[in-house]
Structure 1
Amino acid sequence: MRSIEQIIESTETLINNKTGKSLSFIQKAVLSASLLETKKSYGQIAIENNYSENYIRQLVAPKLWQLLSTTFGEKVNRTNCRAVLEQRLDNSSLQTISQPTQMRQKINLEPPEGQVPLSSTLYIERNVEQVCYQVILQPRAFIHIKAPRKMGKTSLMTRILAYGSSRSYHTVRLSLHRAETEVFSSLEKFLRWFCTNVTYQLGIKSKLDEYWDEDMGDLMNCTIYFQGYILQEISTPIILALDEVNKLFEYPQLTRDFLGLLRSWYEETRDISIWQKLRILIVKSTDIYINLDTNKSPFNIGLAIDLPAFTRLQVEDLAQRHGLQLTTLQFEQLMAFTGGFPYLVRLAFYHSVKYKIPVDTLVQNATTATGIFSEYLHNQLHYLLQNPDLVDGFQQVIRLTVPITLEQEVAFKLKSLGLIYMEGKTATVSCGLYREYFSDYLTKNTVILNHS
């Protein structure tokens, strides 16, 4: 009789041969628990692996049973999986098992730049997706996602929008980084740009001039345009996603007015039902360091998601999807060096697979001029050097081995770059890569920087 580990190994080999896919960590956990004589419930599996039960029950398990059913050519479920797998594996010669791993493993390798495509097998869920999917379908939905650069915010936003589209919701996606500087020169210009783009993406005729009355004020004009035209014209809910909202923070008064406007729309949903059709999703790279009236801030309402770095289990899952087998020591070194930052981990795995270089070798050469992180580190340095206060603040963090307190705006901007972790009001370097690279650079260039 095969052990559970042998069944899973042989099953994954067959899946690789037939579909080019591999089982994720959590899929293996569900399958392993389902192969036991006394099967574990989805609730038990969720608790043991730090996932939500709904995520296991509604997404992981159905996809797993469908994949197995497709692979074995008959219906496989939680009840019959052991009997079916043992029978089919025993009856099959499984000639492909004897093939070299590199011959049977098909990796859909993707560059780690930009958002992860919706169809990608390399997207790692972080236990927040299912919550966002449920919330965005509710009237009065308001979600704000916060995380440093290259942490996967836009990839998550895209999936929320895709989920809404699958439910026949209209979706509008605006990135504030795509707006010209002139757009931010006045509240009127910004709100007209905003309304025009929303109208265009919804595929309806622009009627801005019909609704815009200079005597009413820009905030009221924008509100009337949405309530009296856009929400009347569109019959199904609209998900309005605003990416890189932190771009606004460069314009304090504009920020206060626009964020206050969004908050007022949320409040309108209590008494005016038509506003319940508008679901808002805000994505930003940093905390806001501009003083906002508590009653006008949109960041103390709705669902707040502070997107975390990858956990050790999620990094292991991603390694498996790249066809990589790392030792416990290699995983520990990688986690310490990258802090679990998604982009850094994916960059290491991408180069390891594409150029057949061991991950630990890549890590050892990471901060050199020819290392895989050199371009990324140079870009981070460029952002840092734009503001002498950031350099001073980061130097303080690097010099000390204990958490320190920084001026609020400096701390928020360093956090938006991913250079520091904030716990309460104290800051520490976020990963070994940054400590090693910036400590060396800033030490060598302190004199130059102080006199620049």
Structure 2
Amino acid sequence: MCVEDIQQAVERILQHKPLASIQWFVLSQSWLGKSYSEMAQASGYRNTYIKEVGSELWQDLSVALGKRVTKKNLHLALNKYLQDKIGDRENQSQHQFGEKSSLEISPNFFSASKIEFPSGPVPLGSPFYINRPPLEELVFNEILHPGCLIRIKAPRNMGKSSLLNRMIAYAREQGYQIVYLDLQEADQDVFACLDKFLRWFCVNVSRQLNLVPSLDDFWDTEMGSKVSCKIYFEAYLLQYIDHSPVVLALNEIHRVFEHPNIAQDFLPMLRCWHEQAKQDQIWQKLRMVVVHTTEIYIPLNLNQSPFNVGITITLPPFTLNQVQNLALCYGLHWAADSEGAKRLVPLQTMVGGHPYLVSLALYHLCQEEMTLEVLLETASTPVGIYSQHLRELLNLLQKEPELMSAMRQVIATDEKVELDAIAAYKLESMGLVQLNGNQAHTMCELYRLYFKQQLGKHSGC
């Protein structure tokens, strides 16, 4: 049995209990003969933590199989299980039909056809979620702190929602109540003015806490929308819920950046609530998480911005080790050793370790639709696997001439380019560039090649 077979085999043994990504990592690396020290070095986790994960996994397998399973006898135990299952099926077939059935359990449990196409957040429990230590540990620890404010920042498709969903699941395990608001779901007219936005905000929070909205009892036009909103939280929402903390998760909050009339009041309000928790016990119930794609480009006083307090989590691209681990999750056993890592280097270079772009490549490779070499050769062309993704980005640029012009400046040179702040941050939000201040350069080779071909046609590049 090869490394790509073992996940489904183990999940069958554990009665289809999905493995967490760290369990899958320890399992696959143990199958390949890696030591706990080597796993710790490759993953960034502590050696003791890797051992604990392994110990719990071997214990679960031992209970399920009724035989002692250890890291050392893993091959023997799983191969024996597989042989027994095949034997049981043969005996059953002979008993039913008097002869050996042509239908047997395949020794290869792994099936590429069952792997879902990469799209949206990685589901909880999926083996295709790759931890990026120490980010998960930081988020899980911080959400336990009364009155905390956590900021998760990264461009599109970098894994923000996947991390947020795991933090929410962890908070639920602690007995916390969850309020999740995705600002992309708000109608455009919600952003017409601050009062309308805050009333929409309060109604949504009320309903998710199973409380009847009661804005008219607390809203006072003389005091203003911000004060009314604060009183509504303080005297109603936080007062009438039980003693368990409330996690307020605001996803896609960068949409507020596009409305300065709201951002300049709403964002300082969040900071005020965070600071209120330092001296007021009722506000300690509230733990806030804001998720966005780029830095704020609305001028705010440093003492009012919520983005220079609390803890900031910036999601980095995948390292080569993480790309290698994900390749193993996709059943690409050739990626297991140092030679496999070398083969993945050109992919890492082409997409810059971008999680979605890496996943898309590995998905197509595990389907055996093409070789890695062909995938890379055609990556930036209309027949490549990224063609739809690239066309979508081009369409977004074409809708905003200022961004098109800014992107032309970026691809016209190999040096970093000074851009207008708003254009720079919007390009960063789309994942097209990396920023150092307002200086930009292309996120990865794939984007440089494609946009040089597309935008260069009309710019003389």
Normalised by the shorter chain, which TM-score bucket? 0.7 to 0.9
Match of 2:318 in 1: 310
Aligned mates of 2:448, 2:189 — CA distance in 1: 38
Aligned mates of 1:119, 1:183 — CA distance in 2: 35
Listed one character per residue, the Cα deviations across residues 424-446 of structure 1 (whole Å, up to 9, x for unaligned) are: 55322111110111000011133
Extract unaligned runs of 5+ from structure 1: 1-8
Listed one character per residue, the Cα deviations across residues 164-188 of structure 1 (whole Å, up to 9, x for unaligned) are: 1111110011011111111000111
Match of 1:208 in 2: 215
Aligned mate of 2:276, from 250, 268, 271: 268
Match of 1:105, as an amino acid? F
Match of 2:169 in 1: 162
Q: Is the 8 A contact 1:397 1:429 kept in 2?
A: yes
Asked if residue 385 in structure 1 is aligned to residue 398 in structure 2, the reply is yes
Aligned mates of 1:27, 1:14 — CA distance in 2: 8
Match of 1:321 in 2: 329
Aligned mates of 2:52, 2:197 — CA distance in 1: 40
CA 1:410/1:14 → structure 2, altered by over 3 Å: closer, same or farther? Answer: closer
Match of 1:73 in 2: 66
Give, in angstroms, the shift of residue 270 of structure 1: 1.3
Listed one character per residue, the Cα deviations across residues 182-239 of structure 1 (whole Å, up to 9, x for unaligned) are: 1000111000000000011111111111111111110000000000000011111000
Asked if residue 142 in structure 1 is aligned to residue 149 in structure 2, the reply is yes
Asked if residue 49 in structure 1 is aligned to residue 62 in structure 2, the reply is no
Aligned mate of 1:105, from 103, 107, 110: 110
Scaled by the length of structure 2, the TM-score of the pair is 0.84
Q: Is the 8 A contact 2:219 2:228 kept in 1?
A: yes
Scaled by the length of structure 1, the TM-score of the pair is 0.85
SS in 2 for 1:294: coil
Give, in angstroms, the shift of residue 333 of structure 1: 1.3
CA 1:75/1:268 → structure 2, altered by over 3 Å: closer, same or farther? Answer: farther
CA 1:364/1:411 → structure 2, altered by over 3 Å: closer, same or farther? Answer: same
Aligned mates of 2:236, 2:47 — CA distance in 1: 38
Give, in angstroms, the shift of residue 24 of structure 1: 4.0
Match of 1:5 in 2: none
Match of 2:450, as an amino acid? Y
**1:10-25 to 2 correspondence within 5 Å?**
16-19=8-11, 24-25=24-25
CA 1:196/1:420 → structure 2, altered by over 3 Å: closer, same or farther? Answer: same
Aligned mate of 2:189, from 176, 182, 186: 182
Match of 1:3 in 2: none
Match of 1:345 in 2: 358
SS in 2 for 1:139: coil
Aligned mates of 1:176, 1:246 — CA distance in 2: 8
Listed one character per residue, the Cα deviations across residues 120-174 of structure 1 (whole Å, up to 9, x for unaligned) are: 2211111111210111011121100010011111111111111111111100110
Q: Is the 8 A contact 1:25 1:316 kept in 2?
A: no
Aligned mates of 1:34, 1:371 — CA distance in 2: 35
Give, in angstroms, the shift of residue 63 of structure 1: 5.2
Aligned mates of 2:7, 2:60 — CA distance in 1: 8
Asked if residue 406 in structure 1 is aligned to residue 414 in structure 2, the reply is no
CA 1:104/1:88 → structure 2, altered by over 3 Å: closer, same or farther? Answer: closer
Aligned mates of 1:263, 1:93 — CA distance in 2: 57
Q: Is the 8 A contact 2:351 2:444 kept in 1?
A: yes
Aligned mates of 1:149, 1:163 — CA distance in 2: 23
CA 1:256/1:61 → structure 2, altered by over 3 Å: closer, same or farther? Answer: farther
**1:231-246 to 2 correspondence within 5 Å?**
231-235=238-242, 236-246=244-254
CA root-mean-square deviation: 3.1
Aligned mate of 1:133, from 134, 140, 153: 140
Give, in angstroms, the shift of residue 54 of structure 1: 8.8
CA 1:402/1:382 → structure 2, altered by over 3 Å: closer, same or farther? Answer: same
Match of 1:117, as an amino acid? P
Match of 1:407, as an amino acid? D
Aligned mates of 1:59, 1:92 — CA distance in 2: 24
Match of 2:374 in 1: 361
Match of 2:131, as an amino acid? E
Give, in angstroms, the shift of residue 376 of structure 1: 0.9
CA 1:359/1:68 → structure 2, altered by over 3 Å: closer, same or farther? Answer: farther
SS in 2 for 1:372: coil
Extract unaligned runs of 5+ from structure 2: 13-17, 87-103
Give, in angstroms, the shift of residue 55 of structure 1: 9.0
Asked if residue 228 in structure 1 is aligned to residue 235 in structure 2, the reply is yes
CA 1:90/1:308 → structure 2, altered by over 3 Å: closer, same or farther? Answer: closer
Q: Is the 8 A contact 1:249 1:255 kept in 2?
A: yes
Aligned mates of 1:202, 1:305 — CA distance in 2: 27
Q: Is the 8 A contact 1:25 1:313 kept in 2?
A: no
Q: Is the 8 A contact 2:270 2:306 kept in 1?
A: yes
CA 1:293/1:12 → structure 2, altered by over 3 Å: closer, same or farther? Answer: same
Q: Is the 8 A contact 2:349 2:444 kept in 1?
A: yes
SS in 2 for 1:396: helix
Q: Is the 8 A contact 1:13 1:96 kept in 2?
A: no
Aligned mates of 2:51, 2:233 — CA distance in 1: 35
Q: Is the 8 A contact 1:14 1:96 kept in 2?
A: no
Q: Which moved more, 1:399-408 or 1:255-264?
A: 399-408
Aligned mates of 1:333, 1:81 — CA distance in 2: 33
Give, in angstroms, the shift of residue 115 of structure 1: 1.3
Identical-pair percentage: 38
Give, in angstroms, the shift of residue 283 of structure 1: 0.3
Q: Is the 8 A contact 2:3 2:28 kept in 1?
A: no
